[in-house]
Amino acid sequence: MGNLGKVLLLILAGMLTAAALPGQGRKIQGIVTDSITREAIPGVNILVKGTGQGTTTDQDGKFEVLIPAGKEVLVFSFIGMEKREIVVSNTSFLQVRLKTGIAMDEVIVTALGISRSTKSLGYSATNLKSDEISSSRELNLINSLAGKVAGLEIRSSSGGVGSSSRILIRGISSLSSDNQPLFVIDGVPVNNTLRSGSGDIDWGNGISDINPEDISEMTVLKGAGAAALYGSQAANGVIVIKTKSGRGQKGLGFEYNTTVSFEKPFRLPSFQNKYGPGMNPSGWDFWKSGEEPYYAWGPLLDNGILAVQWNSPLGSDGKPVPLPLVSYPDNFRDFFSTGQILSNNLSFSKGEEGKFHFRLSFNDAREKGMLHNTDLTRNVISLNAGTPIAKKLEVNTSIIYSLTRSGNRLNGNSDAYNAVKSALFMSRSDNVEDLRNYKELLERGVPLPGSYTGKNPLVVAPGTTMATSDYYPNPFFTLDNLLNEFSSNRLFGVVGIVYKITDWLRADLNTSLERIDELYEQKCNDGVRHWNGSIYSYKGSYSRGLTQRDGRTSNFRLTFSKDLGFLNISAFAGGEQRDNMMDWGNMSAQELAISGVFNMSNAQGTKQASNGYSHRRVNSLFGSADLSFKNGVYFTVTGRNDWSSTLPPANRSYFYPSVSLSWVASETFKMPAFISFAKLRLNASQVGSDTWAYQLERSFYNLDRIGTIYEASVENTLKNPNLKPTRTNQYEAGLDLRFFENRLNLDLAAYSGTSFDQITPVNIASSTGYSYRYVNVGEVSNRGVELAVNSTPLDRGGFKWDLGITGSRNINTVVSLAEGVDALPIGYGYSGIRTEARPGMPYGNIIGYGLKRDPLGRVVHVNGLPVKSESERVLGNITPDWIGSLTTRFRYKDVYLSALFSARFGGEIYSLTTQWMRQFGLDIATDVPLRQGAVIGDGVMEKTINGETVYVTNNVSVPFSDYSYWYNAYGLHETAIFDASYIKLKELRLGWDLPAARLKKWNGSRISVALVGRNLALLYSKIPHVDPETSLSADNSKQGFEIFNMPSARTISMNLTVTF
């Protein structure tokens, strides 16, 4: 080797030596894991900031990187995760946790279960991951969505076991359907029907059978463009659910999750506690004829007054002994127990790439209600598995079986069976423990009101004598002796086959079966007053209803995808057949021969029976084509044609298209450094929908036998053989802007849609022999804006603060109805109040009688008392003007704290609870200085002078009790209408994740504990006594009415999650 070669070798050796000297460069090792699951993340990009050097994590999430001298910041990034920058300082080993975030090219599940990049979507879609869903610790997964998606309105009807929840996407578009969105699990539509057994009982939603712990992710497709490919079921939007599968799980994975929850009523009425029962301030005798114990205009309490009461024992002379009239301020609160929920979930999973994957899950949830003798049990078993069966052929399956049972649920509304109503109108001097222990009082010989010879004595609550009928029975007696039992067996299964023909062409075939068996039973013991068809009876009764629902869906799809460099083409075409069948039957015995034997063979008298069957089929062809230009411009066109069996042959075929454009401006132009991402989206679409089965031709529904002659009855609704499909046109524009490397993200959407040719029954003249006729009735429009803002104001030194805001405003208008139809009834409340759809006005006007007023708006009085108007008028509307939420989350290393605030402004509600409490003198608002004196009402009197009507100031005084009674009288609705606006602290979560260093010693991947509070505080409300979110159920017809509703629940939950 020459001298030159030796010199070069010496120089090279010196350079290598210098590179190895301290301070000139160093090696960093570490591991990257998911911040929630603690699972290792392979393929994470790691870049030394300010250089082109870097590496990626291996299959175990581990990495090793050499940092040049003068550099000390590593940048970690991964699709679907938030980017992190870490200053390495003097450490040589890093434990890095990445959090799920809004990535530039995040992939989510969209229509037909197809995964797509968010930046390619030309419509609004919100994706929620598993932890965002299950962290609320709700049994009904619908409730877990509250406040997390802009434009989504969630309302839980009550705190009763298994109660339903209402979910609306972008307002009300249908005049007759429940307006609930379509739910899709693993690519197949499933049933979310509002269960409908007997009576005013909230039996819950069908989707509540699903275990939230089985959900991997959920995507809310809000616009018609997003939903168009799902067909007629998707007219109200789609919620796509992907279940956990076990893919990517190395070794045998194990997860145990347990949650214990305690419930108390969220909001209860404020009572006056100074005055006792009756109408006479000077005294009270429960057994005296004509006394009304549910009124509270009686004598002072806690004042040494003795009175004969409902639970007075008999003295030596055989007469009831007077007892002190004392107050029990918390008797209504004490009527409720502490509800308890225990939920345990156990799952096993495993996956080997190219071989198989599976996840098997078991869930057991048991709820003891806040109401005496009410409960619910739910068991869910789910399996998600798949395996290649040939080189290019793979089969996957998802199976969910759930069993839900309830021993008793509350009767609602204003009838005597509503135990909450009976408890609400207890006298302020009633000891609720005596009511609870009524059997012990009977054993001690206390002569409780009423008498009946049978297995169970008739026990009537205080507030009632036999002279006024038992309209307020002892609520504990009712809950013990009137049982509303329910059980549901639900099986859902889907099998999918994927054949990868080439690397650019694949075929998918899916078939599914859903079977739901629901059993409704009402068991009424002796002593419960009920109508037997001719008179009120106290003998036992029994009714039994069975509903069987079958859903079968099969579809196929051929998908093409080709990348041509500057242009990417992706398209698919397919077909589907969907069958929905329902078979139902009801039978009832109005009286039983032997008390307590609940069997139809024990019926006394004639049994009543009815049954029915329906079958609806929809055949479909659909297709979609996507064009992507240089990953910056995305154009999508879709089309679907349905053939529905429920429409006439001439109209049963209907086609609906959609087109959308997504332009990622930040990929086209160089943006300022502070703009990370900018996208514009546009969409125009149409969705069609059919109707229920058998609405075209007249059918017979009842058959009676009179001797040897059979008599058939015809339905009172006139069918229409010329029905057309309902259609919804919608246009949407949106902006997706992200700033400061995703530290601030803004999503804005504006939309306008019209639903026309609505299929609904309308009133017709009784002279036709019918009451209703099905017609294509008119138009409903919705237009609005949605805003979602997510930000990270602070992320430094292990401390991170995230802040999220959602807000939406939807303007709904009933554009037109059928010719000659001025209003379409929606639902009915108490004493004639109702909700209607009227042309030119928003859906859901509240119609009733108001106070009579003079031309200047002053209240007209007659004999010193206010009177109601002579005609009905619009008193309010049930739809909100604006809904929104604020979420804030703080995390310091392994500890986090988050809060969710929800708000609603606008809309009204009718509260019968408030009206009656004021009428009866129970409301704290009636505790005024002039309570036992006289008042002069603010308003005028109507007089006729010289043949002209004039109005003069009212100067007639009347007893305050009379004025309060008539101001809240039966049939006067205006005084019970309240603004339904509110601001709530909806959720508060405090959690701790066990540090990774400790987990490594135990071979664990995640151990976490959390304390969760739901429905914690009402920060703003204009309605007294009740939760402004309340409703009788999730049904359209029940909205806007609060009629002695079961209070909603405040829930405190403790959760432990262990994953290995």
Task: Taking residues 1026-1032, report their average pLDDT.
Answer: 89
Q: What is the mean pLDDT of residues 1041-1052?
A: 94
Query: Does residue 22 have a pLDDT over 60?
Result: no
Lowest model confidence (mean pLDDT) among 28-42, 337-351, 784-798: 28-42
**Average pLDDT of the segment spanning 536-541:** 84
Asked whether residue 7 carries a pLDDT value surpassing 60, the answer given is no
Residue 591: inside a domain: yes
CATH at 753: 2.40.170.20
Mean pLDDT of 664-681: 90
Of 179-183, 554-558, 1017-1021, give the lowest mean pLDDT range.
179-183
Q: 851 vs 935, 951, 973, 974, CA distance in Å?
A: 18, 15, 8, 7
- Is residue 954 one of the residues assigned to a domain? no
Percent of the chain with pLDDT over 90: 51
885 lies in the same domain as 1021: yes
pLDDT (tens digit, 9 = 90+) per residue, 857-894? 999 999 999 999 999 999 999 999 999 999 999 999 88
Instruction: Let me know if residue 324 belongs to a domain.
Output: no
Same domain, 564 and 654: yes
pLDDT tens digits, one per residue of 799-825: 999 999 999 999 999 999 888 888 888
What is the spatial distance between Cα 805 and Cα 282, in angstroms, rounded to a whole number?
A: 57
Tell me, yes or no, whether 871 lies in a domain. no
**In a shared domain, residues 362 and 501:** yes
Look at the alpha carbons of 288, 289, 293, 295 in this order and tell me if their dihedral is positive or negative. negative
Q: Look at residues 98, 133, 154 and tell me which one is the last residue of a structural domain.
A: 98
Report the mean per-residue pLDDT for the chain: 86
- Number of structural domains in the chain: 2
Distances (CA, A) of 924 to 219, 303, 739, 921: 46, 19, 52, 8
Q: Residue 41: which CATH number?
A: 2.60.40.1120
In a domain, 974, yes or no: no
Alpha helices in 592-727 (DSSP H): 665-668
Q: Which residues contact 867 (CB under 8 A, 6 or more apart)?
A: 851, 852, 860, 861, 966
Instruction: State the pLDDT confidence band at 1, using cuts at 50, 70 and 90.
Output: very low
Res 11 pLDDT > 50: no
Choose among 1043, 1048, 1029, 733: nearest CA to 883: 1029
Q: Verify that 147 and 94 share a domain, yes or no.
A: no
Cα gap 230→238, rounded to integer Å: 8
Same structural domain, 898 and 778: yes
Joined tokens for residue 427:
């006298």
Cα end-to-end span (Å), the chain: 61
pLDDT of 844 reads 93
| C-alpha dihedral sign at 36, 41, 44, 50 | positive
Evaluate if residue 999 carries a pLDDT over 70. no
Name the least confident of 56-65, 319-328, 564-573, 949-958: 56-65
Summarize the confidence of residues 955-975 as an average pLDDT.
95
Task: Tell me what percent of the residues of the chain surpass a pLDDT of 70.
Answer: 91
Integer CA distances (angstroms), 1044 to 268, 421, 835, 1032, in order: 11, 5, 18, 9
Handedness of CA 263, 268, 274, 277 (dihedral sign): negative
Question: Do 525 and 639 sit in the same domain of this protein?
Answer: yes
Residue spans of beta strands (DSSP E) within 353-392: 356-368, 375-388
Query: For residue 353, what pLDDT is reported?
Result: 77
Task: Print the domain residue range for 82.
Answer: 24-98
Q: Are residues 775 and 705 in the same domain?
A: yes
Q: Which residues contact 171 (CB under 8 A, 6 or more apart)?
A: 782, 784, 810, 812, 843, 879
Which pLDDT score, from 0 to 100, does residue 4 have?
37
In this structure, the answer to whether residues 361 and 500 fall within a common structural domain is yes
* Residue 368 is assigned to a structural domain of this protein: yes
CA distance 825 to 760: 11
Q: Mean of the pLDDT values across residues 138-158?
A: 85
Of the candidates 66, 98, 130, which is a domain's last residue? 98
Say if 149 falls within a structural domain: yes
The answer to whether 759 touches 719, Cβ cutoff 8 Å, is no
Question: Is pLDDT of 925 > 90?
Answer: yes
Given this model, what pLDDT does residue 669 score?
87
Judgement on whether residues 152 and 77 belong to the same structural domain of the protein? no
pLDDT over 70 (residue 306) = yes
Separation CA 817–CA 819 (nearest Å)? 6
Asked if residue 137 lies in contact with residue 1052, where contact means CB atoms within 8 angstroms, the answer is no
Q: How confident is the model at residue 995 (pLDDT cuts 50, 70, 90)?
A: confident
**pLDDT computed for residue 79 by the predictor:** 65
The residue with greater pLDDT, 714 or 370, is 370
Residues 379 and 484 in one domain: yes
Are 664 and 119 contacting, i.e. CB atoms less than 8 angstroms apart? yes
pTM of the model: 0.86
Contacts of 701 (CB under 8 A, 6+ apart): 612, 713, 714, 715
Is the pLDDT score of 21 beyond 70? Answer: no
Mean per-residue pLDDT, 911-931: 95
**What does the pLDDT read at residue 987?**
94
Instruction: Check pLDDT > 50 for residue 946.
Output: yes
Per residue in 567-606, pLDDT (tens digit) is 889 999 999 999 999 999 999 999 999 988 999 999 998 8
In a domain, 964, yes or no: no
Does residue 159 share a domain with residue 61?
Answer: no
What pLDDT digit, counting tens, does each position of 208-251 carry? 888 999 998 888 888 776 667 787 777 788 888 899 888 777 77
Q: Tell me, what's the pLDDT at 406?
A: 95
52 and 162 in a single domain? The answer is no
**Residue 458, pLDDT above cutoff 60:** no
**Mean pLDDT throughout 616-643?**
91
pLDDT at 10 over 90: no
Last residue of a domain, one of 98, 119, 149: 98
